[in-house]
């Protein structure tokens, strides 16, 4: 009998030690059939995101939406066409690129329910990333593939396009300040400026092993210092695609659990980090 009790206790101990509980300030939101990327948080309480069934490095997904509890999930724009997503400050407009996430393509604008789609004419063929101006009247974008790679600004109907500054023949992700200043960390680093314009949250790839991993970092603009966010929804986590809640007290991000050499277990799921806890 004593041996049986000892065996049961040993099994329980092994199970407990192998289990993992995320930190208290982590909230699991949503898992889809595939990987979630480029989530954005609307002031209306809706969260928009793209879903890709394959490799995120070559992602082309469809547009989905849910609420802040991960409920009322439905598709807005079907098909696997979109590589990038951004939202206007008032939540009334969305912009997407049609092409692989690191390749780019035509730029479109739609409303918050996906009922209208306008293609924006651009002088360069491949738009990789885009942001609305703070009042929503203009759109900034990084385009490449022709003779004048770099940052552009235009009205949201595509008129009055301006070339702002040059760039490499390489995908670039960025954000903008209320005054229209372009902010970027590095070419392939997805970043988002906080609602109070003081802090950037971004992902970063660190070669801590043979294949490295993705972490979330904060950069404080007043001091130009960085810190690593304690983001660990899984025992062996990778985190990416961060975006601020409208009030700046939470960050939405995607995460996956790394398993094996250069492998992952499952897709990239949607999580919320509560900065008040």
pLDDT at 265: 54
The 10s digit of each residue's pLDDT in 186-241 is 767 889 999 999 999 988 655 443 344 678 988 898 888 888 898 999 988 889 99
Distance CA 277, CA 273 (A): 9
Q: Residue for token digits 């490499």?
A: 168
pLDDT score at 93: 97
What is residue 133's three-state secondary structure?
coil
Question: Does residue 102 sit in helix, strand or coil?
Answer: coil
Domain residues of the chain, as ranges? Answer: 23-274
Structure tokens at 178: 């209320």
Q: pLDDT higher for 265 or 174?
A: 174
Q: Residue range 108-132: average pLDDT?
A: 94
What is the per-residue pLDDT for 225?
87
Q: What confidence tens digit (pLDDT) does each residue in 59-109 have?
A: 688 999 999 999 999 999 988 789 999 999 999 999 999 988 888 999 999
Contacts 24+ apart (CB under 8 A), 43-48: 43/89, 43/90, 43/91, 43/246, 44/91, 44/112, 46/91, 46/112, 47/252, 47/270, 48/76, 48/85, 48/87, 48/94
Which residue do the tokens 């790394």 mark?
258
Chain-centre distance for alpha carbon 44: 19
Rounded CA-CA distance 46/178 in Å is: 23
Q: Specify the range with the lowest mean pLDDT, choosing from 18-22, 43-47, 211-215.
A: 211-215
Which residue carries 């660190």 as its tokens?
206
**pLDDT grade for 141, boundaries at 50, 70 and 90:** very high
Instruction: Kindly tell me if the per-residue pLDDT of 183 is higher than 50.
Output: yes
Residue with tokens 């939540």: 91
- 23-274, which class in CATH? mainly beta
């Amino acid at each position: 009998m004593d041996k049986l009790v000892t065996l049961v206790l040993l099994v329980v101990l092994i199970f407990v030690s192998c289990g993992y509980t995320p930190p208290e300030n982590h909230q699991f939101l949503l898992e889809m059939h595939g990987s979630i990327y480029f989530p954005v948080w609307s002031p209306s309480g809706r969260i928009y995101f793209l879903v890709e069934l394959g490799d995120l490095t070559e992602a082309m997904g469809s547009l989905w939406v849910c609420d802040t509890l991960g409920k009322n999930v439905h598709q807005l724009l079907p098909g696997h066409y979109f590589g990038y997503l951004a939202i206007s400050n008032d939540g009334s407009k969305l912009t997407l690129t049609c092409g692989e996430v690191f390749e780019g393509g035509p730029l479109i604008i739609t409303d918050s329910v996906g009922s209208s789609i306008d293609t924006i004419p651009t002088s360069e063929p491949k738009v990789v990333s885009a942001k609305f101006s703070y009042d929503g009247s203009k759109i900034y974008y990084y385009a490449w593939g022709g003779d004048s790679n770099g940052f552009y600004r235009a009205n949201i109907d595509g008129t009055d396009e301006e070339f702002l500054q040059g760039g490499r023949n390489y995908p670039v992700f960025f954000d903008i300040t209320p005054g229209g200043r372009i902010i970027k960390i590095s070419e392939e680093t997805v970043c988002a400026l906080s609602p109070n314009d003081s802090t950037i949250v971004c992902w970063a790839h660190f070669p801590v092993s043979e294949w490295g991993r993705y972490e979330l970092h904060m950069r404080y603009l007043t001091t130009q210092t960085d810190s690593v966010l304690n983001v660990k929804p899984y025992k062996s986590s990778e985190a990416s695609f961060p975006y601020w809640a409208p009030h700046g007290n939470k960050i939405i991000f995607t995460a996956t659990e790394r398993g094996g050499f250069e492998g992952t277990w499952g897709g990239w799921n949607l999580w919320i980090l509560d900065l008040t806890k």
